[in-house]
Amino acid sequence: MSEAATGSTAANGGSDPLEWQFLQCFGERTPGEEIQEADIISAVTFDHTGQHLATGDRGGRVVLFERVPTQAKAAGADQRATPASRLSSFEYRYLTEFQSHEPEFDYLKSLEIEEKINKVKWCRTSCGSRMLLSTNDKTIKLWRVGDRKVCSLANFNFGDGSHNGWSIAAGNTGANGSAARQKLAASTEHRLKSAENLRMPKITGVEKIMQARCRRVFGNAHTYHINAISISSDQETFISSDDLRVNLWHLDHTNQSFNVVDIKPPNMEDLTEVITGADFHPSHCNLFAFSSSKGSIRVADMRSSALCDKSARSYEEAQSTGSKSFFSEIISSVSDMKWSSDGRYILARDYMNLKLWDLNMESAPVVTYSVHEHLRAKLCDLYENDCIFDKFDCAISGNGQYVTTGSYNNFLKVTGRQGGPETIVEASRDPLRKRLQPQAKVSSRFGLNRGASKRLTTPAPAEQDAGNTDFSEKLLHLAWHPEANLIAAAASNSLYMFCAK
């Protein structure tokens, strides 16, 4: 930790560790169950109130959940008994799902476009409707999800009056259907010979069904794969980023976007980095941040210039020349970043570490949390099996006091923003099998404990020994509830929720 952060920790005393408890699970796997590729979750996000939760998967589907009181059993969730001492007064239930994207083929480039959902973002609305953006590699779509009323009608002037005419017409096809229609017409003609037999259709019931409608499609603006989307605080514009560019869109205009960041060099052989993500400031619609494969984060102000890549403030930690290796750039690439709710801090995740940046200090992060330091000796093996390219999400709590990220063995790591003990939560019904890990103390040669070091690095727990790591079990995607200590984490095709107080 930096000296400034060290003083802050001493003043604030850090954050007390949270005791996490299993809340519920959707789609829990049974031992030996085969997982379909299309069912693997690829995105998790809450809306700004925490009332709704959305997930996207590799099959192009978006699944929505809504918050309900604990007494109401969530449809689709694990139906086994839950602990009586549950800490949360609410849980989530399945709301609806829809097919957001379909597989496509770009004939000009002979390129298959997967239906996999890369990101999902909620829009804030004042009319009570649910609206969200979803994207795959090439196309962004705006969806409206709402209730639709379906009326049941009866007392018609044909047949016995109890059938819906549309269902009868749709069901009677072919030779038998033709004969049935002729018989029905004859019966109706006989019934309507006098006005006294004329009947007025009646509505016998009204049913509400959830329906998703695609309102707008934003496409044909990215040459490379879209890796992030973010909606501004004014809810009028959003940005989308690919490997070399960040585009600015207006939610009402699908045929035009503005390029606000472009790092493509005149000669592609001179390319040294790519953009890995972008995110709007939570309260200032003119500010946004974007990350790169070199481990840097840049904060840009759209008021300063039309192209923001030159004027952006850069947050990057200097690496010593002696510590560089073949894997240095790969493991320093930022896979995810999140703003704190007050916009003061940016949390960034690379393969090895989780870093917290203060906007007022560009030279170094205020805190660095070690996540995969115990795997440094196995980087060659991780490179051969492609695990070194895994992209883990990170999240910061609504009050800004806690941070979290995923790891292998389906582990979720939670720690205080100012450091302190690390809690390991396993994506299972017994999340704290790996108990709270004590913070290591550094002793001097005289046996006296030293003060806080300039760089806070949480040591790797014993249970996280590299030899015991299951690289096929990885917790890549997660989200923290904006108001409560509740985390939604995706382990393969299962969505786990954990709560704490």
Q: What is the DSSP string of 149-218?
A: EEEEEE--SSTTS-S-HHHHHHH--HHHHHHHHHHHHHHHHHHTTSGGG----EEEEEEEEEEEEEEEEE
When mean pLDDT is compared across 78-87, 143-152, 233-242, 314-323, the lowest value belongs to 78-87
Residue 469's pLDDT is 85
Segment 109-135, tens digit of pLDDT: 888 999 999 999 999 987 778 999 999
Residue 323, helix vs strand vs coil: helix
> Please, which pLDDT band fits residue 150 given cuts at 50, 70 and 90?
confident
Q: What is the identity of the amino acid at 389? A: F
Residue 28's pLDDT is 84
Residue 464's pLDDT is 55
> Please, which pLDDT band fits residue 192 given cuts at 50, 70 and 90?
low
Residue 131, helix vs strand vs coil: strand
Residue 377, helix vs strand vs coil: helix
Residue 311's pLDDT is 76
Task: Please state, for a pLDDT cut of 90, what percent of the chain lies above it.
Answer: 58
For residue 7, give every residue at least 6 positions away whose Cβ sits within 8 Å of its Cβ, in sequence order, or none: none
Question: Is 312 in contact with 292 (CB distance < 8 Å)?
Answer: no
Angle in degrees, CA 429, 433, 436, rounded to 5: 125
Q: Counting Cβ atoms within 10 Å, is residue 89 exposed (0-12), middle (13-18) or buried (19+)?
A: exposed
Residue 449, helix vs strand vs coil: strand
At residue 435, does pLDDT exceed 70?
Answer: no
Residue 440's pLDDT is 44
The owner of tokens 């000796």 is 377
At residue 12, does pLDDT exceed 70?
Answer: no
Average pLDDT, the chain: 82
d(CA 270, CA 262): 14
**H or E element at residue 436:** none
Task: Please state, for a pLDDT cut of 70, what percent of the chain lies above it.
Answer: 77
User: pTM to 2 decimals?
Assistant: 0.80
Per-residue pLDDT averaged across 301-317, rounded? 87
Residue 263's pLDDT is 93
Give the distance between the most distant pair of CA atoms in the chain: 111
Residue 106's pLDDT is 85
How many CB atoms lie under 10 A from the CB of residue 84?
5
The owner of tokens 């590699």 is 137
At residue 366, does pLDDT exceed 80?
Answer: yes
> Please, which pLDDT band fits residue 433 given cuts at 50, 70 and 90?
low
Segment 30-74, tens digit of pLDDT: 777 888 999 999 999 999 999 999 999 999 999 999 999 876 554
Segment 276-308, tens digit of pLDDT: 999 999 999 999 999 999 999 999 999 988 888
At residue 5, does pLDDT exceed 50?
Answer: no
Residue 2's pLDDT is 38
At residue 216, does pLDDT exceed 70?
Answer: yes
Which of the two residues, 104 and 10, has the higher pLDDT score? 104
Beta-ladder partners of 45: 54
From residue 443, alpha-carbon distances to 1, 6, 198, 421 in Å are: 17, 18, 96, 18
Residue 158's pLDDT is 63
